[in-house]
Structure 1
Amino acid sequence: MNPVLLHLGTPARGERWQTLLPRLVPGLTVRLWPDMGDPATITHVAAWAPPDDLFATLPNLAMVFSVGAGVDQLRADALPDHVALVRTVEPGLIVEMADYATLAVLALHRDLPRYLAAQRTGQWAPQPVTAKGARRVTVLGLGAMGGAIATQIAALGFPVTGWSRRPRDLPGIDCRHGADALPNVLAISDILICALPLTPETRHILNAATFALLPRGAAVVNMGRGGHLDQVALLAALETGQVAAAMLDVTDPEPLPPDHPLWRHPRVVLTPHVAAETDIDGGARAVAAAILAHRAGSVPPGLVDRSAGY
Structure 2
Amino acid sequence: MRLEPQIDELITTLLKRLDDVAFSRQTIDLSYWLQLFAFDVIGAISFSKPYGFVSSGSDSLGSEENFFPRLARSLHGAAWIMHAGWFFKLHQTVIMPLVGNLLAVNDRNGFFFNFAQKEVQTRKDQGGNDKDIVGQLFQVQKTKEELAIFLFLMRHPQALAKLRDELRGRRTTGKISTVVTAAEAEPCTYLQAVIYESLRLFSPAAFLLDRDVPPEGMTICGHYVPGGTVVGTSSWVIHRAAQIWGDDAEEFRPERWLDCEDPGMLKRFFFAFGGGTRTCIGRNISWLEIETLVPTLVMRYDFKLAEGATITEDCGALVFLKGLRVQVTRLFE
Q: What range describes the TM-score normalised by the shorter chain of this pair?
A: under 0.3
* TM-score, length of structure 2 as denominator length: 0.26
Between structures 1 and 2, the one with greater strand share: 1
* TM-score, length of structure 1 as denominator length: 0.28
Between structures 1 and 2, the one with greater helix share: 2
